[in-house]
Chains A and B, each alone.
Chain A
Amino acid sequence: MAKSKKIKRVVVRSGEVRYYRNGKRLKNKTGQRKWIKDNQSVNPQELNKKEQKSLKAVKKYNDGYKFNGRPIQSIYVELLKKLAVPISQAKNKDLATIINADGKPLFANFMDVLKMIDNKAKSDKKFLQFCSEVGLPNYRNRNADTFKDNKIKSVVDFVDLLDSDGFKTYTLEIYDTFGDSHRGRVRGILALRDFEIMVGERIQKVANNSAFLRFCYDYHLNIPKREIFIDLTDINEDKDLEDYVNEAKNKSQGTSININNKYKDVLIEIMFS
């Protein structure tokens, strides 16, 4: 005789609910999930609290959109509607069932949904802003500028910034590690270059396995005077740069560190192989 897949729900004298299949007791969690799935039309009043919660979750799942059976956040559906994707075509509210003009699935994988949204956000600032405002994952607190470039991460980024329309008329001033001023575009950038070479050399001397190095400069503006400046003054003379690196090295292998309290306006990120 073929085995029945039907799950039997039994309330014992203590009030505890147990689930059985073919006479064999199932784990409470598994039994409850499967029984609720098969009995969605049951009166919630007849269920215990856990079952009511489970029933609510099943109904929410049925009512919500999915991708290959996995639930997706409703914000993705809202955004796809804005992109004129024929959401109504989705069978059982599953986006993987939407077919394109060639008769093939419009989205082979969930990442294709993300790609479509990202592509629109890259070309449409309002759409990007909307994604950020509704808190779409990876879009929170972002704006068009942060997409373009969030920070000054190298000298070449800084050259680009100084050449941009907003800063063309600004005078650059860099204070080196000793606090000496280097004023003017060329002198300032030369000072940044020398700073990076000096830091790289000192790191390499104590850790020849440094695999990644990045400088994130926090620049400041004096708008009335049209000045842009970075202060690289050594603010922790009691501790050498080498000490920071050695400390990280001693902790473990494969370590990465951020040094943000050695030179005033720069965060140095180092990763070791």
Chain B
Amino acid sequence: MNVIDIPRSTDNVQFNIDLLNKLGIKFIVQHGTYTTTIITEESKARYMMNIYSKRVFKCANMIKSDVLKSENAQQIIAAKYLKTNFAISQDVKSYSAKKVLNIDINQAYATCLLRNDLITQKTFNIIKNLPKTERLPCVGMLATSHTKFHYENGTCFQVDGFRAVTAPVFYYLIDEINYIMQNIQFLLGSSFVFYWVDGVFFDFNTDKQCVKDVENFLTENGYEYKYEDVQDFSIETDDKKMMLKMIKNGTPKQYVVGMDDVGNDIKNYLSNGIEKQKTQPNYSN
């Protein structure tokens, strides 16, 4: 099947859909956050927000293939892993310091895949040699999800959701790295400031033995790491968001992160509403 990659825009996607509808051709539109693909019997047009090189897809396929062969992966897929991303400490307090220590794990997800026998050393080496901007998409493709819009005779007649069978493995990786970070938080005690995904920030004057314990823990678990130069570090938090500012390796950085609990009120309202609906007569009748 022919595959063409095109930058995604409303006009590009709509033009193709309109054309296929006019021709009365049966087709499927697969829509994900970053990519929309239009599939006919003969061809596949991939409309992408970020156009990745072919090596990204090749590497993602290698990861997927290894994962599907792995015995550990079968157990992970069968088990229950949280979809909610907890890769951030929940009880973050406002903090500021001229200097903090920052340890970042190198290739955290790729290493986690290797250490848990989910990929081969060969695949790991390929991921390791990719630029950082391509490494995460490769691994992230384990959790591919999209909505399928089925078209026939000029109209969309059906919509289905799809999630890759390997998605639990991606959530497992997030969980595992989160456990590593929580363990570091525990080892650092009161010197701990904050962690985010695969990087941890802590007091510049942390006890040397404590720092050694963290380094040993990472090494014993097979994770390589590096120290980053972080200055003018600050965290400001309120109930709904957290703002992180720092100068990392000479570059100013600023992040705004929504706290996970945002939206809970709506969720609770909904859950209550559904419960109520189950126990009350149907108003619409």
Interface of A with B (CB < 8 Å)? 67, 70, 72, 109-111, 114-115, 118, 122-123, 137-138, 140-141, 145-151, 154-157, 159-160, 163, 166-167, 185-186, 189-190, 193-194, 196-198, 200-201, 204, 210-211, 213-216, 218-219, 221, 223-226, 251-258, 267, 269, 271, 273
Contact = CB atoms under 8 A, between A and B. Distances in A.
B146 A271 contact: no
Given A141-B264, A150-B263, A190-B149, A256 B256 contact: yes
A214 B32 CA distance: 11
B276 A223 contact: yes
Query: Interface range on chain B: under 10, 10 to 19, 20 to 34, or 35 or more?
Result: 35 or more
B187 interface: yes
B255 A141 contact: no
Interface in B84-136: 84, 86, 89-91, 133
Interface centre among A198, A223, A224 (most CB of B within 10 A): A223
Interface string B26-45: 00010111101000000000
A146 B274 CA distance: 16
A137 B195 CA distance: 14
Contacts of A223: 273, 276-277, 283
A258 B256 contact: yes
Contacts of B187: 70, 110
B205 interface: no
A231 B207 CA distance: 53
A225 B283 contact: yes
A258 to B, nearest CB: 5
B253 interface: yes
Given A155-B31, A166-B274, A252 B8 contact: no
Contact of B270 (A221, A225, A256): A221
Given A123-B80, A190-B149, A221-B273, 7 more contacts: A110-B186, A110-B187, A137-B89, A210-B50, A215-B33, A225-B284, A256-B254
Contact of B253 (A151, A167, A254): A254
Q: Which 4 A-B pairs have the closest CB atoms?
A: A159-B161, A254-B253, A224-B283, A111-B183
B13 A156 contact: no
B49 A204 contact: yes
Q: State the main secondary structure of chain B at its contact with A.
A: mixed
A105 to B, nearest CB: 13
A122 B253 contact: no
B189 to A, nearest CB: 6
Contacts of A194: 10, 14
B241 A258 contact: yes
Contacts of B182: 110-111, 114, 138
21 contacts: A70-B187, A109-B183, A137-B91, A138-B182, A146-B267, A156-B146, A156-B161, A157-B161, A163-B161, A189-B147, A189-B149, A190-B156, A194-B10, A197-B9, A204-B50, A211-B50, A224-B284, A225-B283, A252-B253, A257-B256, A258-B241
Q: State the main secondary structure of chain A at its contact with B.
A: mixed
A110 B189 CA distance: 12
B49 A213 contact: yes
A225 B285 CA distance: 10
B277 A216 contact: no
Interface centre among B160, B182, B271, B276 (most CB of A within 10 A): B182
Nearest to B217: A109
Nearest to A166: B274
Interface centre among B29, B80, B84, B187 (most CB of A within 10 A): B84
Given A150-B84, A252-B253, A156 B162 contact: yes
Given A159-B147, A189-B159, A221-B273, A111 B179 contact: yes
A138 B82 CA distance: 13
B84 A213 contact: no
Contacts of B86: 138
A166 B50 CA distance: 36
Contacts of B256: 256-258
